Amino acid sequence: MRALNRLFGGLLILVLLAGGAYGYVWYSAKNFLDQQIAALSSAAQLTYQSLQVDPRGAVRVEGLQLLLNGYRSPIDMDALGLRASDPLFFLDPVGRLERGEYPEFLSIEVESLRLSSAADFLQALERTAAQNRSQMAPQLGALGCGEDLLAFTPQVWVGMGINEFDTDVVLTIRADNDRGTLDLFSESETAGVGAASADLSLSFAAGYLKPDTFAAANPRLKSLELSYRDMGYFAKRDRFCAQLSGVAEAEYRAQHLELAKQRAAVYSMQVPELLWQAYEDSNDKGADVRLGVNPVGGLGAEILLALDSPVQLIDRMRPHLEINGRPVDLANVDWSDVWPDPQTLLSAQPPTPSRVQTEPQSLVDAPESVQAQSSEQESGVGSVMAGGQNDSQQMIEFPGMAPKPEPAPPVKFRRTDFDDLKDYIYADIRIFTYYGNRVEGRLEAVEGDSIKILHRVGKGMAIYPVDRAKLDVIEVMR
């Protein structure tokens, strides 16, 4: 009997210890969650119904609702779950991350995130975007979808029959700070629209994967795999655009492809038929597209700046493409022909007709407005209204009255010749390399035919040397 009492007492102590440990973990998780909600309160209000903690390393928050300040449309989530391979991680998640003590496995899962296509904050964003888009050409995906449609906006989504986005998301992180590896995998699925995934693999200097030292970690891309599977979006788009254009769905798709070819010709892009077929197949109903890159030896910032052309970048990335289970042979594609003309890209986007033209345009016989916009971009001259009149009123000067001083020109990024850069040491500078890379920072030195730019990386700074031959556009704040 005495032995039975001891056994019962021991079990009771274990239960009390387990209950106390569970209560401590639950309280720590709730305290952390409430702190994050308080920090978020200046931008949005977040509420939840219940919090569940699994001592084996899982936290689950159910019944969440996010309401952006100043708006009335909510973002609802059935549940937000976090799971780690180390149960002790949730006792001090912020401290662990700051010290670079990552669990071997960490996942974040969002169940049924629901967002209405008619949400008021989406409409507000669309009004702002529409003002900037009014003088631009239609987006590539909107070509052929009616004469006046410039982009697939939330209002257009409603017209397609997509009244709400109901999405599940899973993000998985595998980090090893001692070995210097970081793998990120994300997967999302939106009901009636599509599913997408991304698999990113990075390497870095061992021991530097924490906020204070990440700038010196020199992260390098090892591989990237992207995939998309259509689950109804293209069917809705084809039906909507065909009705809007008054044609059959097959005819709309043919018009869209022809308009895409015309726009490519405006940019002097000589796209082979192999890629046009891949583009058409990837935009078809039920398409399954997989794109990946495996850079030779990894890809870091210093390698990007050392490359001489976009073709070298593509060759180094070693892209591979698979559509509907069939690989696309990219080995014989001449990427120098496919790459768009840099000067045309830097100019304003050319207007594109909404209907198919009899003859595809080329850069030579492009609309005069395109050539005019390009030349104005080169010379820095803005657009001039017909007649060339200046509507600004001139102040009438009376005898003995000092003339009104000319206002100082505003300080902004201005195009600058390479030979003049020695006059702007330590000035803010922005450059665009020949292959489209943008670097912004402070001009540290001009040494012969190269410059050095102090550039922010994460929470630190790094100096990048850039050769004159790789510079396409130079702009200095002055």
Would you give per-residue pLDDT tens digits along the chain (478 residues)? 565 555 555 555 655 555 555 566 666 677 777 877 888 888 889 999 998 888 788 889 999 999 999 899 999 999 999 998 888 787 777 788 888 888 888 999 999 999 999 898 888 888 877 766 655 677 888 999 987 788 898 889 999 999 999 999 999 999 998 888 999 999 999 999 999 999 999 998 888 888 778 767 888 899 999 999 999 999 999 999 999 999 999 999 999 999 999 989 888 889 999 999 999 999 999 999 999 999 988 888 777 777 777 888 888 889 999 999 999 999 889 888 888 876 666 554 555 555 555 444 433 344 443 344 444 444 443 333 333 344 434 444 444 444 544 555 566 788 888 888 888 888 888 888 766 677 888 888 898 888 888 876 655 567 778 888 888 888 888 8
Q: What angle do CA 161, 166, 169 make, to 5 degrees?
A: 140
pTM: 0.68
**What is the structure's pLDDT at 97?**
82
- Smallest CA-to-CA distance from 62 within 40, 47, 83 is with 47
Strand 58-68 vs strand 50-54: parallel, antiparallel, or unpaired? antiparallel
DSSP string spanning 143-163? Answer: TTS-SS--S--HHHHHHHT--
CA–CA distance, 40 with 171 (Å, rounded to integer): 21
Q: What ranges do the domains of the chain cover?
A: 41-346, 413-477
Q: Are 245 and 146 in contact (CB under 8 A)?
A: yes
Question: What local confidence, expressed as pLDDT, does residue 340 receive?
Answer: 82
Predicted pLDDT of residue 435: 60
User: pLDDT tens across 430-475, in order?
Assistant: 888 766 677 888 888 898 888 888 876 655 567 778 888 888 888 8
What's the 3-state SS for the chain?
A: CHHHHHHHHHHHHHHHHHHHHHHHHHHHHHHHHHHHHHHHCCCEEEECCEEEEECCCEEEEEEEEEEECCCCCCEEEEEEEEEECCHHHHHCHHHHHHCCCCCCCEEEEEEEEEEECCCHHHHHHHHHHHHHHCCCCCCHHHCCCCCCCCCCCHHHHHHHCCCEEEEEEEEEEEEECCCCEEEEEEEEEECCCEEEEEEEEEECCCCCCCCCCHHHCCCEEEEEEEEEEECCHHHHHHHHHHHHHCCCHHHHHHHHHHHHHHHHHHCCCCCCHHHHHHHHHHCCCCCEEEEEECCCCCECHHHHHHCCCHHHHHHHHCEEEEECCEEECCCCCCHHHHCCCHHHHHCCCCCCCCCCCCCCCCCCCCCHHHHHHHHHHHHCCCCCCCCCCCCCCCCCCCCCCCCCCCCCCCCCEEECCHHHHHHHCCCEEEEEECCCCEEEEEEEEEECCEEEEEEEECCEEEEEEEEHHHEEEEEEEC
CA distance 253 to 255: 5
Name which CATH class applies to 413-477: mainly beta
Give the pLDDT confidence score for residue 361 in this predicted structure: 40
| pLDDT at residue 113, as a whole number | 95
**What distance in Å separates the CA atoms of residue 248 and residue 260, rounded to the nearest whole number?**
18
Quick one: 326 exposed, middle or buried, by C-beta within 10 A (0-12, 13-18, 19+)?
A: exposed
Radius of gyration of the chain (CA): 29
| Amino acid present at 253 | R
Cβ contacts of residue 241 below 8 Å, gap of 6+?
144, 145, 146, 149, 252, 256
